[in-house]
Amino acid sequence: MPQIEMSAPLSVLDGTGHPVNFGWARSPLFVYNDSLFRGLVQRVLSSDRYIIFSPTHLIILEILDGGYLGYAGISVVSLKDKKRSTQIFQTPFPLGSLALPNSGESGPVKFQRKKRVKIEFIPMEKGIKLIKVDIPKFGHHRYLRGAVVLTPPAQAESLVTHMPWRTEKNAFILSHRSPWYVAEGVMQFGTAELVFTKGNAWGILDWNRGSRPRSDIRYWASACGVSGGRQTGFSVGYGSADGSAGTENAFFVDGRLHKLDQVTFHISPSSWLDPWRFTGNDNRLEMIFTPHQERVERHRLGFHVLNRRQVCGSFSGRVILDDGQELKFRDLTGIAERRKSRF
């Protein structure tokens, strides 16, 4: 089945609340209105995640509403000494109370727990995002406080996909990935200043909405940086959802999208810290991932289980762009992960 590119706005759900219009787009043409949803509210999944990194540090910020289980999570990873700190703030039974927006370009998104934590994702003009964090006690009684501005390239495109599940007709996932932000700002982490400067720091948006199945497994990887004087990023992944109408795979050069078909992750069964290999079914992609360090994240509330195994590192390889040109890239910083959930 060929991939279906959308060129006009279409609803994700029909009038009865069932998912329709599967495929992919270069901008958020899929219109998601959660008020149309007719399924079990505890199966609704909404998450906003930003990955920000400099030559020395990587920060992952996520706000998730998984029906029965919600949380805000932040990880600060040192890319030099392989140290990391993670703080998770759980919210049992959020059931939509986190008020995550229906579009990856709208907002704002705010998570606040009295004076313990404040995280904000604020949309601004021209696609700019402002990330603000204020956590007085973050890992070993240090504080994490600051702001980072994420600026898109001119006329940037995103990869937006809408996919069903093969075995559950009412389950679907709507994803919006933008691996091309330029990051500028400062985060104060205890006595250390984490500085993000233009040309040396980058940001990635990973945004998801949907109705999840009873069990799911997903692989995803993304990175961004400069290669050969051109800003280069990618988002690749696959899982239990049916991507035949539109896969989650694309490279971005100076913000412009180059669509790929299927991509396979080849992971060493002996150790996730061994090099990974990524290949495309149409011979357009050959990529090696060199892991730097691994983190494991587990959440459980009753029968609701969410596990994520994540590796930070660098990506190098070659990709054939849509115009037939070969792009070689080296040492793009990013992450690769496997996410498993069931309820």
Q: What is the mean pLDDT of the chain?
A: 92
Rounded to whole angstroms, how far apart are CA atoms 32 and 258? 25
Query: Which pLDDT band holds residue 336 (cuts at 50, 70, 90)?
Result: very high
Residue 120 resides in a domain: yes
Domain encompassing residue 263: 13-342
**5: in domain:** no
Instruction: Provide the pLDDT for residue 206.
Output: 97
In a domain, 8, yes or no: no
38 — pLDDT class (breaks 50, 70, 90): low
The number of folded domains in the chain is: 1
Residues 90/304, Cβ–Cβ less than 8 Å: no
Q: Is residue 303 part of a domain?
A: yes
In the prediction, which pLDDT does 42 show? 65
For residues 83-96, give the mean pLDDT. Answer: 86
Cis peptide before 275 (omega within 30 of 0): no
The pairing of strands 84-92 and 109-113 is: unpaired
Average pLDDT over residues 251-275: 95
Q: Which two tokens stand for residue 168?
A: 């559950």
Beta strand ranges found along 228-271 (DSSP E): 230-239, 250-253, 256-259, 263-266
DSSP secondary structure letters along 145-176: EEEEEEEPPTT---EEEEEEBSS-TT-EEEEE
Q: What is the pLDDT of residues 215-226, one digit of tens each?
A: 889 999 999 999
Residues 113-163 pLDDT 10s: 877 899 999 999 999 999 999 999 887 768 999 999 999 999 999 999 999
The predicted pLDDT at position 105 comes to: 86
Q: Tell me, yes or no, whether 174 lies in a domain.
A: yes
Question: Tens of pLDDT along 154-206?
Answer: 999 999 999 999 888 889 999 999 999 999 999 999 999 999 999 999 999 99
- The 10 Å Cβ neighbour count of residue 122 is 15
Residue 2 lies in a domain: no
Residue 7 in any domain: the answer is no
> What are the CA-CA distances from residue 305 to residues 44, 210, 245, 302, 343 (Å)?
14, 17, 29, 8, 6
- Between 301 and 241, the higher pLDDT residue: 241
Q: Is 168 contained in some domain?
A: yes
Residue 304 is predicted with a pLDDT of 72
Is the pLDDT at 61 greater than 80, yes or no?
yes
Given a cut of 80, is residue 343 above it in pLDDT?
no
Pairing of the two strands 256-259 and 263-266:
unpaired
Per-residue pLDDT tens digits for 277-312: 999 999 999 999 999 999 888 877 666 788 889 999
pLDDT at 271: 93
Look at residue 50 and tell me whether its pLDDT is greater than 90. Answer: yes
One-letter amino acid at 219 equals Y
pLDDT of residue 189: 93
